[in-house]
């Protein structure tokens, strides 16, 4: 049975909890404290490098079975 992509497995006794509708078209994201420019810059630089050298696509295919990059 295919799971709804807008649901997640919660800790409420192993039940699936509906978390709502998708807010954006991005499929992945990072939570970084507002104002943390050095971490934001480091994450952005690494994501750019991984996108350019193909690592991001390889990891996407390995763990998600498809390309989850934002286009």
- Look up the pTM and report it: 0.54
What is the DSSP track for 1-59? -PPPTTEEE-SSTT-EEE-----SS-S------TT-HHHHHHHHHHHHHHHHHTHHHHH
Lowest mean pLDDT among 17-21, 44-48, 55-59, 65-69: 17-21
Decide which of 2 and 20 is more confident: 20
Q: What is the pLDDT of residue 35?
A: 93
Residue 66 pLDDT exceeds 90: no
């Amino acid at each position: 049975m295919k799971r709804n992509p807008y649901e997640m497995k919660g800790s409420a006794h192993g039940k699936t909890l509906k978390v709502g509708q998708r807010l954006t078209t991005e499929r992945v994201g990072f939570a970084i404290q507002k104002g943390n420019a050095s971490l934001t810059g480091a994450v952005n630089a690494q994501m750019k490098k991984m996108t350019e050298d193909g690592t991001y696509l390889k990891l996407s295919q390995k763990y998600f079975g498809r390309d989850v990059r934002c286009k």
